[in-house]
Amino acid sequence: MSRSVASVISAHRQIEGGGFPVRRPFPTAGMDQVDPFLLLDEMGPVEWPPGEAIGAPDHPHRGFETVTYLLEG
């Protein structure tokens, strides 16, 4: 069975939490079928000097399951 790519989605860059950059392909305009239940964020690599990494303050992602994977490091 052969299949084709339905669409290619580009990630947009935004600042999250205490100021760390993420690239997020979805949710975004035109992908209403996953919003607000699915997020995909790519983070890093980011190098912070000692004492400057703020992290992510409390935020209400109720009902979300987080899957984290590390590519290297």
CA distance 40 to 37: 10
Q: Are 34 and 46 in contact (CB under 8 A)?
A: no
Q: 22 or 60, which is more confident?
A: 22
The token pair that represents 30 in the structure block: 């035109």
Q: How far does Cα 20 stand from its chain's mean position?
A: 11
Distance, in Å, from the CA atom of 21 to the CA atom of 17, rounded to the nearest integer, reads: 9
How far, in Å, CA of 64 to CA of 53, rounded? 24
26-71 pLDDT per residue, tens: 777 777 666 566 778 888 788 888 887 777 777 776 677 777 777 7
How far is 73 from 67, CA to CA, in rounded Å? 17
Instruction: Check residues 28 and 6 and name the one with the higher pLDDT.
Output: 6
Higher pLDDT, 13 or 69: 13
